[in-house]
Amino acid sequence: MHPLIPPDSRLHLQRPSRLLTFLAVVIGLGANLVSTALAQHVHTSRPASKILPLPEEEGVFHFVVFGDRTGGPAEGIKVLAQAVEDANLLDPDLVLTVGDLVNGYNPTDAWMKQMEEYQATMSKLRMPWFPVPGNHDIYWRADPKNPEARPPQEHEASYEKHFGPLWYWFEHKNCGFMVLFSDEGHPDGRTRDFNDRTQQQISRAQLDWMTDELKKMKRLQHVFVFLHHPFWMAARYPGNNWDAVHQRLAANGNVRAVIAGHIHQMRYDGKRDGVEYFALATTGGSLSPGMEYEYFGMVHHFNVVTVRSNGFQMAAIPVGAVFDPKQFTPERIAEVDAARYALHRVVSPAIQVSLDGSASGICQVEFKNPCSLPIDLTLLAKGGDSWRFAPDHRHAKLQPGAARVFEFACMRDASGSLDGFSLPQFELRFDVLAPGGRLGMPPRTIQAPGNLGDAGAARNSASEDLCFVLNGTNACVELGLDRVRLPEGSFTVEAWIKPSKSTNAAIVSNLRIGGFSLELAGAPQFRVQTDLASVDPRHTAQFKSPIVLRAQQVLPAGVWAHLAGVFDGSQLHFYVNGQKQGDKDAEGARATSDKSIFLGARPNPAWNTHNFSYPTQFFDGSIDEVRVSKGVRYRADFRPPVRLGLDEAAVFTFSGDLRHGPFAPVQAVVPFQAMALGEPVVVRSDRTVE
Distance CA 430, CA 402 (A): 14
pLDDT in tens, 592-636: 888 899 999 998 866 555 567 789 999 999 999 999 999 999 999
The SS3 call for residue 104 is coil
* Nearest-angstrom CA–CA distance, 288 and 429: 32
pLDDT (tens digit per residue) in 316-335: 999 999 999 999 999 999 98
Residue 10 pLDDT: 53
The CA-atom distances, in angstroms, between 256 and each of 157, 217, 245, 454, 598 are 31, 13, 14, 86, 68
CA distance 429 to 442: 7
Is residue 460 predicted with pLDDT exceeding 50? Answer: no
Which domains can be identified in the chain, with CATH numbers?
Answer: 10-28+65-318 (3.60.21.10), 328-451 (2.60.40.10), 461-684 (2.60.120.200)
DSSP 415-472: -SS-TT----EEEEEEEEEETTEEEEPPPEEEE--EE--HHHHTTSS-SS-EEEEEES
> What are the pLDDT digits (tens) for 53-71?
888 777 899 999 999 999 8
What mean pLDDT do residues 93-119 have? 96
The residue count for the chain: 690
- Return the axis-axis angle of helices 204-217 and 242-252, rounded to nearest 10°: 10
Residue 32 has pLDDT above 60, yes or no: no
pTM of the model: 0.73
pLDDT of residue 50: 84
Contact yes or no for 220/171 (Cβ under 8 A): yes
The pLDDT of 646-653, averaged and rounded, is 95
E-only strand ranges, 555-619: 561-567, 571-576, 579-585, 589-590, 597-599, 602-603, 615-616
Q: How confident is the model at residue 288 (pLDDT cuts 50, 70, 90)?
A: very high
Residue among 168, 76, 163, 61 nearest 115 (CA)? 163
The mean pLDDT of 227-252, rounded to a whole number, is: 96
pLDDT tens digits, one per residue of 673-689: 999 999 899 999 999 76
CB 64 within 8 A of CB 125: no
Q: What is the mean pLDDT of residues 7-22?
A: 47
pLDDT at residue 217, as a whole number: 98
Who wins on pLDDT, 248 or 533? 248
Rounded to whole angstroms, the Cα distance separating 449 from 84 reads: 53
| Percentage of the chain modeled with pLDDT above 70 | 89
pLDDT per residue as tens digits for the range 195-225: 899 899 999 999 999 999 999 999 999 999 9
pLDDT at 8 over 70: no
pLDDT in tens, 334-363: 988 899 889 999 999 999 999 999 999 999
